[in-house]
Structure 1
Amino acid sequence: MSDNQLAPNSWQRNLKVLWFGTFMASIGFSEVMPFLSLYVDSMGTFNRGQLSLYSGLAFAASYFVTALASPLWGKMADRTGRKLMLNRASLGMAIVFILMGLAMNVWQLIALRLLQGVFSGYISNANALIATQVPKRRSGQALGMLVTGNVSGALFGPLLGGTLASLFSYRMTFFITGFLFILVFLVTAIFVKEDFQPTAKAKMLNTKGVIGELANAKLVFWLFTTTMIIQAANNSIVPILSLYVRQIMNNSPATTFYSGIVAAVPGIATLFAAPLLGRVGDRIGTDRILIIGFILAIAVYIPMAFVTNVWQLIALRFVIGVANASMLPAVQTILAKNTPPQVTGRVFSWNQSFQAMGNVAGPMIGSFVSSAFDYAGVFISTALLVVINLTLVYHSTQSMRNARRQ
């Protein structure tokens, strides 16, 4: 029996379990981010330049390794099943985060952040497993729902992490995060069901063979590039967002509070919009939803450069959350609809690699543009990135539609 031959309601049960798993995993990833640089600072006496360098290395290390390791784990997923990769990722992350709480110097922490990248892949394998089990006509709705677990966890994570670090300590928060991943491992191991028939190593397809299995390989690789640019655009404004809030609020004492609102608002919008847009995409075409998302993002990023008060920025950031809800979930849905089940693991892992590259490139672009121009220039450059993405996606999806008509 293959992935697609499970009992009719199996994918719905798995979706609920994996929603919880991605929610908890996303909390685990995000709750240490607010104080990671402070944790670095507590490990020694550093000047400002050293602290910036070591903090940057600690942030980027896991994304860099994720980009390299994901294709290897994707190949393993297609051979052994996605559930095994979910268990591997969650248990590995549990061990790494507990060890981070025991790190004695910054180089040990950076090494463990590199190791964290090796154990990446829970969320991408959750997407791949659901993509292989859900009926194609409902994949947009299902993957959109799964995204809400990731987004809501990312929203609650920083708040929980800051609270735990204030009540206990940085190290204790790492230990608690490790135990969260142990919980994710147990829930996944016990409740996720996958009827997977292992593929003999000799019969495993190489990269050329995987590409040959794709009916529209050009479209799939354009979607990888789209994922990278989406992540780069979303993250390009991360380094300057609180500084931009401080500027438009004229150094108000309330800057920190409003910076938190500005950072959280897109996630709240995405949380509510993603399932709805997924269902609409299943009816009118996911590629149309994706293009609408790009147009909406362009229309919003440009006026962000010219806001005169924080409430204008908050309103525009909310709309960006709606645009985000129509972009990454749509890419994953189109991938799911254009990828045979036997190579889904590798295709989704390649997509994760491009996503990680966007996570690394985005803040670098934002930092460079803000230093060469000003904060407003970052929003303009981000809009240009989205224009490039819209052009690529429009031509690739038009080719897809033309191929369907023939």
Structure 2
Amino acid sequence: MSESPPANGTQIRQADENTPLLAAGDVTPTADPEISEATTLNEQSPSDDPADKPLPMGQIILLCYARFIEPIAFFGIFPYINQMAEENGNLPKTDAGFYSGLIESLFSLTQMCVMMSWGKAADRVGRKPILVFSLVGVTFATVIFGMAKTIWQMILFRCIAGVFAGTIVTIRTMIAEHSTSKTQARAFSLFAFTGNIGIALGPLIGGTLANPARLYPKLFGDVQFFLDYPFALPSFAIGFIGLTSVFTSAFFVEETLKKKPSANGSANGTESGPPKPAPLSTMELLKSPGVGLALYVYGHVFLLAFAYTAIVPLFWYTPVLLGGFELTSLQMSLLMGLNGLAQSIWILLVFPPLQHRIGTTGVLRVCALAYPIFFAANPLFNAIRRGGNDTLFWALAPATLAVGCGISMSFTAVQLAINDVAPTPQVLGTLNALSMTMVSGIRAFSPVLFASLFALGARWAEKQWLGGYAIWALMVVIAAGFTVVSRYLPDYDAMKRERERLHAE
């Protein structure tokens, strides 16, 4: 007796002895249609939307925890690196800053040199192996950095940490592969929020644990090891966090790069169907629709971010008559805390619903309009303080800083844009590596360049030229360039939805 078709019109394939163990739906939802076909008995209904795949929060949380180690390891040495360089190199205090800056620049240059290799390796052998291996490497390098006894050892160990730059590239890629056009804003807001927590936690660990024999003589005063290696304890603490992330990533994080199955069920065998297209070369990837512009916008946004980060500590410290705010250490700490809190609120609470409403491109355009205004407000507040109206300054400046931190949403939005323009999931690691290579290069030179330009502007202020505002005029011009470019951005969300649709067919 023949069976009548189901009432909903869904076509059912008949299973036979060659059919693998099948489920009623896609066991592991993926953008690759061939994998989906190998793991699904029912054909996907035309009304099913691949973007409706729920966000696997357990995996996202594990990846965000693994993401901790990079900002903690990078920023954890900031409170003591000048003292460490001074003591290890027997340097005068005036030279310590040069060597600490050199160490950080070489770290970023090392990252820039190896980033592409990590991205391609993640696309070839898988995300998880690269993630775990990189976590092991950066953990080891961070631990031995604290035991460096010469300037050259500090440089060598910091560059070793830079070599293992595969963590951040791989985590970005894996979060992108776990998310869809509907869930990526939430996923990457958690990613960015975790980074902010790491940026805050790193200096806290470094500042409270460095030189423990002097800070905590009752506990460590008689421990010879900490007398010989006064900067080892914070490195050990960060290393312990790294080891826990190695464990959680090795045993609980799932691979997200899907291999093409063969006819016999093997992931690496041959199959009778049409051959899979060869992976894109780097040049072919750069020529893909939207990729070049997205990479440019990514670099432009982070140039603004790194430049502002280099300028602000000097600007807040500089005397009012030379164009600064002339704040005390306590006032600067409070404003930095406000800055971190405001950024976290914007990224975690405001960005996801705003991106859902106006899209990734819309968020980038709003931030592009806000950047010049935010930068122009700084000389305005200096003028207010120069006029002696401190009450008005303190009433307006912190509130403007908190609101202006909304531009930090551009960091997450531009990451989504990078994910959205990837022509295939198989090149997502390489594309993320390209973007991070560019950012590492920018981070290597921008702090020194913009700090020097600010110092030059302060000297001009002494001669009554431009009132110390030259640096902010330059920042407004650079930001205005981003404002202009933002008008020509494509609809990144539409590009991702189209790619999801094509790979689900």
TM value normalised by structure 1: 0.88
Deviations 1:49-78 (A, max 9, x none): 542331111111111111121111101111
Residue 371 (structure 1) aligned with residue 450 (structure 2): no
89-98 or 350-359, larger mean C-alpha shift: 350-359
Shift of 1:387: 1.2
Residue 148 (structure 1) aligned with residue 187 (structure 2): no
Deviations 1:304-339 (A, max 9, x none): 123225734433332332111x21110111222221
Q: 2:316 aligns with which of 227, 245, 260?
A: 245
Shift of 1:28: 2.9
The structure-2 alpha-carbon separation of the partners of 1:248 and 1:97, relative to structure 1 and needing over 3 Å to count, comes to same
Q: Where do 5+ consecutive residues of structure 2 fail to align?
A: 1-27, 41-52, 214-229, 261-267, 269-276, 459-467, 499-505
Shift of 1:198: 4.9
Q: Where do 5+ consecutive residues of structure 1 fail to align?
A: none
Give the SS at the match of 2:257.
coil
Shift of 1:208: 3.0
Matched pairs, number: 398
Which whole-Å CA distance do the structure 1 matches of 2:55 and 2:185 have between them? 17
**Conserved 8 A contact 1:266-1:321:** yes
**Conserved 8 A contact 2:420-2:492:** no
Deviations 1:170-206 (A, max 9, x none): 2221222222211111121122112534588x95542
Residue 362 (structure 1) aligned with residue 433 (structure 2): no
**Conserved 8 A contact 1:304-1:316:** no
Name the aligned partner's letter for residue 270 of structure 1: Q
**Conserved 8 A contact 2:301-2:411:** yes
Which whole-Å CA distance do the structure 1 matches of 2:439 and 2:309 have between them? 16
264-273 or 245-254, larger mean C-alpha shift: 245-254
Q: 1:274 aligns with which of 320, 336, 347?
A: 347
Q: What value does the CA root-mean-square deviation take over the aligned residues? A: 3.1
Aligned match of 2:372: 298
Write out aligned runs for 1:7-406 (5 A): 11-48=56-93, 50-165=95-210, 167=212, 169-198=230-259, 204-211=279-286, 214=288, 216=289, 219-247=290-318, 255-275=328-348, 276-307=350-381, 308=385, 311=394, 312-324=396-408, 326-339=409-422, 340-374=424-458, 376-397=469-490
The structure-2 alpha-carbon separation of the partners of 1:101 and 1:380, relative to structure 1 and needing over 3 Å to count, comes to same
**Conserved 8 A contact 1:273-1:322:** yes
Name the aligned partner's letter for residue 71 of structure 2: S
Give the SS at the match of 1:42.
helix
**Conserved 8 A contact 1:237-1:378:** no
The structure-2 alpha-carbon separation of the partners of 1:358 and 1:314, relative to structure 1 and needing over 3 Å to count, comes to farther
**Conserved 8 A contact 2:110-2:162:** yes
**Conserved 8 A contact 2:181-2:493:** no
**Conserved 8 A contact 1:25-1:184:** no
**Conserved 8 A contact 1:297-1:323:** yes
Which whole-Å CA distance do the structure 1 matches of 2:185 and 2:311 have between them? 33
Deviations 1:383-405 (A, max 9, x none): 22211122223223379989x99
The structure-2 alpha-carbon separation of the partners of 1:3 and 1:89, relative to structure 1 and needing over 3 Å to count, comes to farther
Deviations 1:191-237 (A, max 9, x none): 2112534588x95542134346x4x1xx3222222222222222224
Which whole-Å CA distance do the structure 2 matches of 1:383 and 1:86 have between them? 39
Name the aligned partner's letter for residue 255 of structure 2: E
Which whole-Å CA distance do the structure 2 matches of 1:10 and 1:193 have between them? 14
**Conserved 8 A contact 2:294-2:421:** no
Which whole-Å CA distance do the structure 2 matches of 1:135 and 1:81 have between them? 20
Shift of 1:283: 2.9
Which whole-Å CA distance do the structure 2 matches of 1:143 and 1:396 have between them? 20
Shift of 1:104: 1.8
**Conserved 8 A contact 1:10-1:193:** no
Name the aligned partner's letter for residue 206 of structure 1: S
The structure-2 alpha-carbon separation of the partners of 1:149 and 1:106, relative to structure 1 and needing over 3 Å to count, comes to same
Name the aligned partner's letter for residue 172 of structure 1: L
141-150 or 262-271, larger mean C-alpha shift: 262-271
The structure-2 alpha-carbon separation of the partners of 1:236 and 1:131, relative to structure 1 and needing over 3 Å to count, comes to same
219-228 or 66-75, larger mean C-alpha shift: 219-228
Which whole-Å CA distance do the structure 1 matches of 2:493 and 2:279 have between them? 28
The structure-2 alpha-carbon separation of the partners of 1:399 and 1:100, relative to structure 1 and needing over 3 Å to count, comes to closer
Which whole-Å CA distance do the structure 1 matches of 2:211 and 2:365 have between them? 43
**Conserved 8 A contact 1:222-1:393:** no
The structure-2 alpha-carbon separation of the partners of 1:64 and 1:314, relative to structure 1 and needing over 3 Å to count, comes to farther
Shift of 1:133: 2.0
Deviations 1:270-329 (A, max 9, x none): 2111133133213321111011112112111111123225734433332332111x2111
Name the aligned partner's letter for residue 329 of structure 2: T
